Amino acid sequence: MSKEHSQRWKTAAVLLGIIALVALINSKFLTWVFFGVVYAFGVFEASKLFRVKLSKEITLALSLVWIGGYFYPNPIELSFIGAIFLASILAYDKRISKEAVALAFYPTAGILAIWSLYLSFGMESLLWLLVIVALSDVGAYYSGKKFGKRGFSPTSPKKTVEGVIGGVALATIGGAFLISNSYLPLGSVIIAFFTSISSVFGDLFESYLKREAGVKDSGDILPGHGGVLDRVDGYLFASVTLYIFLKIAG
């Protein structure tokens, strides 16, 4: 095993250990702090990709959005408040760039959606999210390696149509199996399928941002993995989809 792969596995083990500990303790405050740390690093990395200077106005707005999310019953809605606040500053005296408004949606909306899942549907829903996105990635990797021939998108040359199909299929089956304990089988399949599709495009969107910024990774805080956004990109889109479908399912 190469040094890079060894480092990658060690980092993954540490991350899984931290996630497992947070899940087992299942404390609202600890979970909020954990995702708050993820959010802070995500915003920092996204600001580099968007080429946005994190001014005090931006930092204050996004910090208040996250703090408000602890008390507000539907935190995902607060991303719009953040966007309105930043857009208002931009319109008033152009103290911030127009790209800064994007930070209120990426990664803010996705992280708030993850937090909203926890508040509305408990830790179990985060397990569903984790499994669906992970299976999408694993299935895509091995399916693409064995059957991949056709490129999926010029944004990410390594992705193949066959890999995406294999990943979505695996995630749909595995995710539906978990979700079916709480929802009807057909509904579980639909939820898992669209959540998996969203994770694919979440990964693709971050690839697009990195290509536009001319960088390989969003950061270097995670040895062997890159930045925080490199690890949570699929979750940022998938969480929004899962949250909406679970709300619809009631």
144-195 pLDDT, tens digit per residue, is 999 989 999 999 988 999 999 999 999 999 999 999 988 989 999 999 999 9
Average pLDDT on 32-58 reads 97
Q: How confident is the model at residue 32 (pLDDT cuts 50, 70, 90)?
A: very high
State the pLDDT at residue 224: 82
Q: What is the pLDDT of residues 193-229, one digit of tens each?
A: 999 999 999 999 999 999 999 999 999 898 888 999 9
Enter the pTM of the model.
Answer: 0.95
Closest CA to 127 of 68, 182, 70, 72: 182
